[in-house]
Amino acid sequence: MLYLDSAATTRPRPEVVELVAEFLRSPAGNPSSVHPAGMLKRKQLQEAREQLALLLGVPLEGVTFTSGGTESINLAIKGVLFNRGKIKGQLVTSPLEHKAVTETASWFESLGGKVEWVRIDPKTGQVDQNHLSELVGPQTGLVSIQQVNSETGIIQDLPGVAKIIKTKNPACWFHVDGVQGFGKLPLALRETGIDLYSISGHKIGGLTGAGALIQTQRIALEAQLSGGGQEGGRRAGTENLVSILALAKAAQLTFSERLANGSQVENWGRTFIAALSNELPVQLAGSDAVRSPYLFTLLFDKILGEVLLHHLAQKGIYLSQGSACQARSKQLSPSLKALGLKDEQIRSSLRISLAPAELTHSPIEVAQQFIEVIKKLG
């Protein structure tokens, strides 16, 4: 088996598995309880918060644990723009965003909120900064732009975007969906001008069920869950402590290995694409763009991506046709459409996403298996 779908989820790291096993053998305790068992769990929760705060250069109160990237994104957008039943400004975002952003934007519009969609440069996949400058004004409450696109791997110019936002409206908050970039790409949140940053544990070798919304400064967020007032009143509900500890552990390891991991996946991907291109008419979506080495989308000539996906799966090679949250949708990828690709090109696409732990086969060997399948189909 070869797993090339790590943008969807990753295998828990061995160190995380060991941590989880130890946690599950330990005595029960709720972090909100005042007895010694509860106090121990609260200490563990605080240590996880400290670890993330240190890695990201934010204050302790700037780490709000959630159930994952989607909840973090919802908390950022809804928490800023819909406060105490009232709309608190307009939203500016892009058609490239994950469904957690675009569907939340649609929800906001259904309440009467105003959403502005910034144009994308089809050659580079970048937010059109001139258009962004036109859209951001005194009425803008939040701008939400992704760090890395979950289908093409295109990296947005976040410093450039932040500069425009803060120049046009210093009171406007800047949220970044960092789910595909967290721990993999260098990013200084405060220096870049990012106010809110959403992350997820299971994308970096942690567990599902834990993410965080990171704040670089104090922002009045409307809680989306009512209850016991956990997470400083920003997110009610007993914390999923084991997954939070796994997130913190995976983050520590991922940050410490960032340079080595980045080099490994970049070399593997480059060699794989070159080997394919030597034998087949294959295109790289966003080839002129600045991209993350961890994921990319290939366009195959006159072959349906869905058909190729199933034939590769029969050989034990697992990948996807886009983001996991988009997989069951019949709508063609907005991210690929934004690059100016034709419908037939989009239907011929496959996404390949890498994690160092899964690269157990030679890229040339894997490319050869692709070539054999495609030539049979052709």
CA dihedral (253, 254, 259, 265) in degrees, to 10, reads: 130
Average pLDDT over the chain reads 96
Of the residues 2, 219, 304, 325, which is catalytic?
Answer: 325
Domain 2-9+257-377 has CATH 3.40.50.10540: no
249-294 residue pLDDT tens: 999 999 999 999 999 999 999 999 999 999 999 999 999 999 999 9
For residue 325, the model assigns a pLDDT of 52
Q: Does position 322 have pLDDT exceeding 80, yes or no?
A: no
**What is the band of 378 on the pLDDT scale with cuts at 50, 70, 90?**
confident
Please answer whether residues 350 and 308 qualify as being in contact, where contact means their C-beta atoms are separated by less than 8 angstroms: yes
H helices within 206-290, ranges in order?
A: 241-256, 258-279
**Domain locations in the chain?**
2-9+257-377, 14-256
Out of 3.40.50.2300, 3.30.2320.20, 3.40.50.720, 3.40.640.10, which CATH number does the structure's domain 14-256 have? 3.40.640.10
For residue 83, the model assigns a pLDDT of 84
Q: Does position 216 have pLDDT exceeding 90, yes or no?
A: yes
Cα separation values, 42 from 111, 244, 356, Å: 38, 12, 33
CB atoms within 10 A of CB 358: 19
pTM of the model: 0.96
For residue 330, the model assigns a pLDDT of 66
Q: Which of 21, 22, 55, 45 is nearest to 244 (CA)?
A: 45
Specify the DSSP element, H or E, that contains 341: none
The fraction of the chain above a pLDDT of 70, given in percent, is 98
Q: Which of 277, 257, 221 is nearest to 82 (CA)?
A: 221
Q: What's the average model confidence in pLDDT over 124-138?
A: 98
Q: Does position 302 have pLDDT exceeding 90, yes or no?
A: no
The verdict on whether 172 is a catalytic residue reads no
For residue 94, the model assigns a pLDDT of 98
For residue 78, the model assigns a pLDDT of 98
For residue 324, the model assigns a pLDDT of 52
